[in-house]
Amino acid sequence: MLRLSKLTDYAVVVLLRLSNPPECCDSVQTSPGIATATGVPEPTVAKVLKALTLANLVVSQRGARGGYRLHRPLDEIAIADVITAIDGPIALTACVEGAASPCEVQSLCAAKGRWDLVNDAIREALAKITLADMAVASIPPAFRFDAAHPHIPFTE
């Protein structure tokens, strides 16, 4: 089963929150503020923000009015970029180009070099999906839920 890490899931949540700053504030948000708003523990938010900053998906601003903001709009951030920022290169098997460690049975493998086709297709598909596609605004109202009352459908 192909499954993303929890950190990648949290990264999407954090990025979506950064795209929707509170009305009282400008586009800069703090790690504790994001943690409070999303329910993701603050140390996890801080870890995610550090990785997203290193990947140039988020910009950090120091000082009394410091915090984090998106480096580019949601429609310019592919899910593939988020996955790569948090989990590293997208690779299904150890023998796929860019994998961290080589396969122990690579010399005997009948599928050697064949996984690149599958891996490239997945990478290409994930590159076509942006965070804008994942944003709540793109979800039909009948399927939205109010965070304060998750069991009651959201109405505008």
Domain assignment of residue 151, yes or no: no
- Structural domain containing residue 51: 6-141
List alpha helices for 65-139, DSSP H.
Answer: 79-87, 115-128, 131-134
Is 11 in contact with 46 (CB distance < 8 Å)?
Answer: no
Number of domains in the chain: 1
How far apart (Å, rounded) are the C-alpha atoms in residues 130 and 14?
14
pLDDT in tens, 6-64: 999 999 999 999 987 666 566 789 999 999 989 999 999 999 999 999 999 999 988 87
- 27 is a domain residue: yes
Give the CATH number of the domain where residue 37 resides: 1.10.10.10
User: Both tokens of residue 138?
Assistant: 């793109």
Tell how many helices (H) and how many strands (E) occur in the chain.
6, 4
User: Is 149 a member of any domain?
Assistant: no
Least confident of 18-27, 74-83, 107-116, 139-148: 139-148
**Exposed/middle/buried for 45, CB within 10 Å: 0-12, 13-18, 19+?**
buried
Instruction: Classify residue 152: in a domain, yes or no.
Output: no
- 146 occurs within a structural domain: no
